[in-house]
Amino acid sequence: MKLKRDGVLYALTITSSSALLFLVQPMIAKAILPRFGGSAGVWVACMLFFQVALLIGYLYAYWITRLGRRAQTAIHLALLALSLAALPLRPRFEWTPSGGGNPAFAILWLLAVSVGLPYFLLSTTSPLLQSWYAARGARFPYRLFALSNAASLAALFAYPAVVEPLLSGKHQLLWWTGAYLGVVILAGLSAVRNWGGGFENLKKTRPLAGEAGGTACPTREGAEAGETACPREPESADFIGPENRPLLWIALAACASTLWLAVANHLSQEVAPIPFLWVLPLGRYLLSFILCFEGSGWYRPTLFRWLLPLAWIAVCLRIALQGSMGGLEWEIPVFSAALFVCCMFCHGELAESKPDPRNGLAFFYLMVALGGALGAVFVGLVAPNVFSTYLELPIGITGCVLLALALLFGFPAKRLLRLALFAVLAIVFALRYRSGDADVVRVRNFYGALQVRDRGAGDMAARALYNGVTLHGLQFLAAERSRLATVYFSAESGVGRVLDSRRQPGRRVGIIGLGAGTLAAYGQRGDHFRFYDINPAVIEVAQRDFRFLAESEAQTDVVHGDGRLSLEREPANSFDTIVLDAFSDDSIPIHLLTREAFESYFGHLRAGGVLALHITNRYLDLEPVVEAQAASFGKQVLLIHNLADLERGVYEADWAILSDGSLPDLARYSHPPAATRMPRPWTDDFSNLLRALR
């Protein structure tokens, strides 16, 4: 009965801490976006911090369980009390050094001083309490690991669906602070229970290789009574013996982590720029953890000997045939199903080889956390700086193939090496398979993957700039057509009509979002067009591979940096027109659509100035968002839509034009809003991207 009461306490503590662990990540990351700009690099830096902090938490849990129970309790209670000094939770901007350049180190430091200790202690809760529970004689502590992942999964979907729409950023952080106080109390009670003992329940067992103190297997009688069985010895290659089991745990965890992050990158960058699309892969990743460690035998090796080859083939075919067969309705279910199968294999094998919890649990979780962190670092930091395209998904699939051949199909090491070479060649062929366009350049960095492609022939020969699957610019190669404004910036587009109708001498135009530099085509002698772009690769490509900037009659210059932050450094009332072209991709910079941002735009416009926003997006309806901001500032808004004309390289586009008064020369081209709903205006403290989904 006493053990059962402890189990309830531990389960409640683990569930609460795991939920807060996943809730604080989007909360604090969103809170710092306006300070550092809305680039994907901010989210990458945040992800790196949380993964490393999680690994440090698991390392602490492993270290502290080597100590006596009273030392464990005293140390953990002291850290819990110390973490209260970080409350209430908020970004500690005053402790963050200012300066230009790459903000990654400033972001890491800001997160460390703002949420570092509370996040670290939350990350220790699950492995530490499971170790304490196992030491008290519990039979199934690994089910608490499944429970922690279930809580994380619930929090993952609750944030965009419930928390973000209902609470402002400040109230989110205050609510989280109160919930953290409750978790500290629960964790403190659990630590006090550990002081009372329970280690006397440990049985004398046979040590296994794999950690300093050895792991332990129960007796045959204990296993038949329901205790955790000894790790299953692989029937495969002899290089995966007991002494190498920690390496196997790392490899399996790293493979699963790489796959979910790579699939999220592939779907959001190469398939469809849909906000929250990354939630689906992460949800399947967590679900596989839940099913494999719940203890009901969801993972069956004989079944996955058939399912895994089907998953590998499906992924390779979709990569090879991308854009030539099927669409979004195929990509999402195929990749989601294949990812789930691969993660079930990786996590199922982890569950099959897990050690006896009473001696080896903390070390096991440390190895799993290390593998997960390595996968995240590979996808988040190594791949963008080493590869020119998204190679992490083929590499992750190759790793899954090799692990399965060793663990499920019993392939020897030499044969695996030959098959690895064959797999790499096959994946390279699939990746290089294209439907006709010739790559001029492919480059990838912190902000995404760019491709410059030549397409068409004769008068239709053109050079196109893509970020993933999103077209960002197109220029005809023929000299007589090279200055035509194309894609979303044609003469009949909203921005085209604004720039054509407002040709006063010496006009100054500020443009957030460079692309290929297409809008420079509207420049006249005496004009000054200033572009802002955060991605140095975009700037290099626009200046080297396209001629819009060089052929413009206007004076043009390009400022490297976040558009809003760079614009705020300009003198007030310095532009006749400001253009925003930054909302076509997945991670749209929300900080460019807040009240504080619009206040900056209008403050930098001269009397009678115009603000033009490109709001073309297949997955987001940004019209109501812009209308709400216009109404809050008392501005008139015109919505202008133009049709496509592929012969001239013109695509359908939607623009919102904001001004102080009527624009009769443009009003006849506008259309009324499609809906009458007026959402709450977004601020740096509140936004609701979920409501903007089409």
Do 300 and 306 meet the contact criterion of CB atoms below 8 Å apart? no
Return the pLDDT at 219.
38
Average of per-residue pLDDT values in the chain: 82
Q: How far is CA 189 from CA 13, 34, 185, 224, in A?
A: 9, 39, 6, 33
Alpha-helical (H) ranges within 84-195 are 104-135, 142-158, 164-166, 169-195
Predicted confidence (pLDDT) at residue 678 exceeds the cutoff of 80: no
Q: Which fold has domain 244-433?
A: Growth Hormone; Chain: A; (1.20.1250)
Say which range, 301-305, 592-596, 668-672, has the weakest mean pLDDT.
668-672
Strands 555-560, 528-533: pairing kind: parallel
Predicted confidence (pLDDT) at residue 493 exceeds the cutoff of 80: yes
List residues bridging with 645 in a β-sheet.
650
| Band of pLDDT at residue 202, cut at 50, 70 and 90 | very low
Return the pLDDT at 210.
39
Cβ atoms < 10 Å from Cβ of 59: 18
Predicted confidence (pLDDT) at residue 216 exceeds the cutoff of 60: no
List for the chain the helix, strand, coil content (%; round to 5): 60, 15, 30
Angle (CA) 63-65-67 rounded to 5° is 85
Predicted confidence (pLDDT) at residue 212 exceeds the cutoff of 60: no
Equal CATH topology for 1-199 and 244-433: yes
Return the pLDDT at 4.
64
Say which range, 264-278, 295-309, 512-526, has the weakest mean pLDDT.
264-278
| Band of pLDDT at residue 31, cut at 50, 70 and 90 | confident
Predicted confidence (pLDDT) at residue 174 exceeds the cutoff of 70: yes
Predicted confidence (pLDDT) at residue 233 exceeds the cutoff of 60: no
Say which range, 4-13, 87-96, 244-253, 368-377, has the weakest mean pLDDT.
4-13
Sign, CA dihedral 215-219-222-228, equals positive
| Residue range 258-277: mean pLDDT, rounded | 73
| Band of pLDDT at residue 686, cut at 50, 70 and 90 | confident
Predicted confidence (pLDDT) at residue 5 exceeds the cutoff of 70: no
- Tell which CATH architecture fits domain 1-199: Up-down Bundle (1.20)
Model confidence pLDDT, tens digit, residues 452-477: 999 888 888 999 998 877 889 999 99
Model confidence pLDDT, tens digit, residues 521-550: 999 999 999 999 988 999 999 999 999 999
**If DSSP codes are grouped into helix, strand and coil, which group holds residue 443?**
strand
| Residue range 593-614: mean pLDDT, rounded | 94
| Band of pLDDT at residue 255, cut at 50, 70 and 90 | very high
Q: What is the CATH number of domain 485-692?
A: 3.40.50.150
Return the pLDDT at 297.
76
Domain limits, the chain: 1-199, 244-433, 485-692
| Residue range 673-688: mean pLDDT, rounded | 79
Per the rule left: phi > 0, alpha: psi between -120 and 50, beta: everything else, 436 is: left
Predicted confidence (pLDDT) at residue 252 exceeds the cutoff of 60: yes
Return the pLDDT at 463.
94
DSSP string, 304-343: HHHHHHHHHHHHHHHHHTTTTS--HHHHHHHHHHHHHHHH
